[in-house]
Each structure stands twice: as C-alpha cells, then as structure tokens.
C-alpha cells in the first residue's frame, strides 16, 4: 500500500496562486525522485473546533486558509531516499523558491496505510 507523507499548513489567501505555482513546481521534483503522486487541497469546509481543529493546529490567521496535502510513495525506503534528494534539490531551496507560507506552523508526518478501499 505504499507510504504517505501528510501536511497541513495555513496559507495567506492573497498567496493562493503563488502557493499553487510553488506546489506544482515542487510536485515535479517529488515525482522525479520517486513519488507516485502529490495532492494539494485548498480548504473549503474546514470548521473551527472547540478543543482542536486544523485551524488551531496551524494557528490559522483570519486572512489565511488551511491547506491539506499528501504525497504518495511506493515505500518508506523510496520516500526516505527521495525526500533526501528533494530537500537537496537546488530548484527548491528557499533562496530560489521561497515558501509562500510560514513553514514553522506547518504540521507533517509520515504514515503507513492500513486501509485502502
């Protein structure tokens, strides 16, 4: 069933197109380095919680939208090797392509699928 990297971030509404272009460019690099697919989703129905929520987790500000993303890999081993290459790729370095959001508020993790229907 592969391996999944998941991400949640708060992106400024004014930077939606910048984020989309950044995500498309990064997806090319991820695919070149073994990812099977990259999905980026702009929040549309993301309710506020009383105890926790996506918005709270990323400290979303009023002028931001929650983005939910994932990368599908064939295995954790391919992901580990591919992610190392992606992080070192000169096309994605911050001075070349700055992230259009505050990466310090992004949450992320690697996951082993247990159900795929």
Cα 88 to Cα 29, 35, 67, 81, 83: the distances in Å are 11, 16, 24, 11, 9
CATH number, residue 106: 3.30.70.100
- How many Å apart are CA 57 and CA 54, to the nearest integer? 5
* Tens-binned pLDDT, residue by residue, of the chain (117 aa): 899 999 999 999 999 999 999 999 999 999 999 999 999 999 999 999 999 999 999 999 999 999 999 999 999 999 999 999 999 999 999 999 999 999 999 999 999 999 999
Per-residue confidence (pLDDT) for residue 1, from 0 to 100 = 82
Residue 107 is assigned to a structural domain of this protein: yes
Residue 34 is assigned to a structural domain of this protein: yes
Cα 65 to Cα 45, 61, 69: the distances in Å are 10, 8, 13
Per-residue confidence (pLDDT) for residue 5, from 0 to 100 = 98
What is the domain extent for residue 19?
Answer: 3-44+54-111
Domain count within the chain: 1
């Amino acid at each position: 069933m592969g391996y999944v990297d998941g991400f949640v971030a708060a992106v400024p509404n004014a930077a939606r197109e910048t984020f989309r272009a950044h995500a498309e460019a990064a997806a090319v690099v991820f695919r070149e380095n073994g990812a099977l697919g990259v999905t980026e989703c702009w929040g549309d129905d993301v309710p506020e919680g009383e105890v926790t929520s996506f918005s709270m987790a990323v400290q979303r500000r009023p002028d931001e939208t929650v983005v939910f993303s994932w990368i599908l890999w064939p295995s954790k081993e391919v992901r580990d090797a591919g992610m190392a290459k992606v992080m070192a790729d000169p096309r994605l370095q911050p001075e070349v392509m700055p992230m259009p959001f505050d990466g310090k508020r992004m949450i992320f993790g690697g996951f082993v699928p247990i159900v795929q229907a």
